[in-house]
Amino acid sequence: MFDFVNHPLVETEWLAVHLGGSKLRVVDARWRGDGSSRDLYKAGHIPDAVHLDWQFDFGYTREGVRDLLLPPDRFAEVMATAGIGDDTAVVAYAETDYSGAARLWWALRYYGHEQVAVLNGGLTKWLAENRPLSTDLPQPAPAVFTPRPQAHWLATAAEIKQVCGGSYANTRLVDTRPPEQYLGQAVWTPRGSLYLPPGQTEVEIGARRPIRAGHIPGAIHWHASTNLDPVEWTYLAPEVLRARAEAAGLQPEQRVITYCGVGISASLGLFALYLAGYRYLALYDASWEEWSTDPSLPVTGPA
């Protein structure tokens, strides 16, 4: 019934027709830096949707690095409680350029669950079309979710260090953060970019060590939000995304690793590349949170 591997982006019209299907789980993946995402969900969501917040529901801290994807057993528990089992098709949505839906898409693909899609335009488009909201809170029956980690979807600092050293010539790094973060003028925080005073190259924001400003040497800059139409917040057409990727120097036969502050907008950038036909993709989940706080790793500093 579903082919989300080849068609991972679904339209609002399609979802409106398929709502309530016994094998379909809709996930409200909205997130807010102030922790208000669940209150937003309770105030109104797409009918039958459950809510999962990438930071509070399937993120955790390891060795001082925050917002990492949960390990297999814990991730499986969250999915099972949300009614997502091995045979469940999932459609995730967020709003405007928030990346929670793409984050869940990547997380499920990493854990071997292929039937997952993102709602094009998310709640923004759904509301613009005057489609219904609900305040009912579904209580899905527990499901059985079997995590099957797919290592190729995840990049590590060790691999990226090899890329920086020239060992993997056919791998490219893509920094999806806003330009001020890439240029070293600011760093990521849950409430947005924190600008540094002129001459300052690091700042304390509660990570394991002070965050250094800048980017991974050799990384291409491609702000994740520019993959979306700024009015409807729908993804640009695949051929447009493909042309932009190639213009940036990315080729389909290359392994492309995306990263950002804590792996969230990098998920959106990765999903856009998937739509463009790129298949050798990976996410550096620990992202700048890990890289910039390890003094042994190289950084291209403020421009």
pTM above 0.75, yes or no: yes
Return residue ranges of the chain for CATH 3.40.250.10.
9-149, 153-291
Nearest to 86 by CA among 120, 113, 56, 107: 113
User: Of 21 and 258, which is predicted with more confidence?
Assistant: 258
Instruction: Report pLDDT digits (tens) over 123-153.
Output: 999 999 999 999 999 999 989 999 999 999 9
Instruction: Report pLDDT digits (tens) over 181-211.
Output: 999 999 988 888 999 999 999 999 888 999 9
| Residue 106 pLDDT | 98
CATH architecture of structural domain 9-149: 3-Layer(aba) Sandwich (3.40)
d(CA 57, CA 70): 9
Top CATH class, 153-291: alpha beta
The amino acid sitting at 47 is P
DSSP state of 6: T
On the question of pLDDT at 1 being above 80, the answer is: no
Q: How far apart are the first and last CA of the chain?
A: 51
Instruction: Report pLDDT digits (tens) over 221-235.
Output: 999 999 999 999 999
Nearest to 107 by CA among 152, 164, 69: 69
d(CA 292, CA 209): 9
Q: What is the 3-state secondary structure (H, E, C) of 224-236?
A: HHHHECCCCCCEC
| Residue 97 pLDDT | 82
